[in-house]
Amino acid sequence: MSQPRPTRARSVLYLPASNSRAIEKARGLTCDVAVLDLEDAVAPEMKLQARAAAVAAAREGGFGPRLGVRINGLDTPWGVDDLAALRDAPVDLIVAPKVENAATVHALSDGMRPGIELWAMIETPRALVDLRDIAEAGGALGGLMLGVNDLAKELKTGAAPNREPLKPWLAAVVAHARANGLSAIDGVFNRIKDEAGFAAECAQGRLYGFDGKSLIHPSQIEGANAAFGASAEEAEWARKVVAAFAAPEAEGLGVIRVEGEMVERLHLEQAQAVLAAL
């Protein structure tokens, strides 16, 4: 059953938890979510230090964005201890890599403090096969994140600027997220200097229905916020639709005309969602 659109997450920036300078900078950034990374961005010999730094940073606070931590997988030497260390830390969400089944969602949820949200990364063929079970697992699950780099590697897809081999999975992740009231976060774009390519991929992600995009550099925040937020034109149209349905002559009508366009009540719901996210 479809549920209301999740909390805004247009820009989700990964930062190495082992980098104190990056953590300090994150406090003043305009991304919607800052994720301190304990997994890919941290070498094995730095895992314990990074975990301690993430917990300390969360307790110190001062973050403008919502704060998350990406832990190591529960099947690694660090994942269980990562989860335990963060149980009482003041973070908003936990990002779990390579989630492949509902049992993992349940195990993660059981180890988290109530009120913290879990985002499951979908980045293996097994996760795609069992996507429905993962999305319907419940517990603390609040979002699905597409891990495009690992997924492309495991699927052995060829390089394609428009992500042609991944398009079925872009749509599938969004569909399962929407069916279960979860956030849907698109994967990273690796070429930091390719502004046109990044803009095109953000536009593609929004077209497919994603709420936002995973980012690897602060320079990508502004573009993601613009791409996944409402434009001035969209906001103005939304106001006109809401105002038109609020007019006395629209009472009881399922379809009305707004500036020559036929508009249904489903468009009213979309317009209200746009305005609520401003």
Residue list for the binding site: 70, 123, 150
Measured N-to-C along each axis, helices 232-246 and 265-276 cross at an angle, to the nearest 10 degrees, of 130
Residues forming a β-bridge with 93 = 68, 117
**Which two three-digit tokens encode residue 34?**
């800052």
- Provide the residue type at 63 as one letter: F
User: Annotated binding site for substrate, which residues?
Assistant: 70, 123
User: Which string of b and e fits 226-243 if b means at least 16 CB within 10 Å?
Assistant: ebbbbeeeebebbeebee
Nearest CA-CA partner of 187 in 228, 144, 146, 128: 146
Cβ pair 86, 71 in contact under 8 A: yes
What does DSSP say about strands 255-258 and 261-264: parallel, antiparallel, or unpaired? antiparallel
How far is 155 from 173, CA to CA, in rounded Å? Answer: 16
How far is 70 from 152, CA to CA, in rounded Å? Answer: 20
How far is 138 from 151, CA to CA, in rounded Å? Answer: 23
- Provide the residue type at 23 as one letter: I
What does DSSP say about strands 212-215 and 11-16: parallel, antiparallel, or unpaired? parallel
How far is 153 from 125, CA to CA, in rounded Å? Answer: 10
**Which two three-digit tokens encode residue 228?**
């996944």
User: Annotated binding site for Mg(2+), which residues?
Assistant: 123, 150
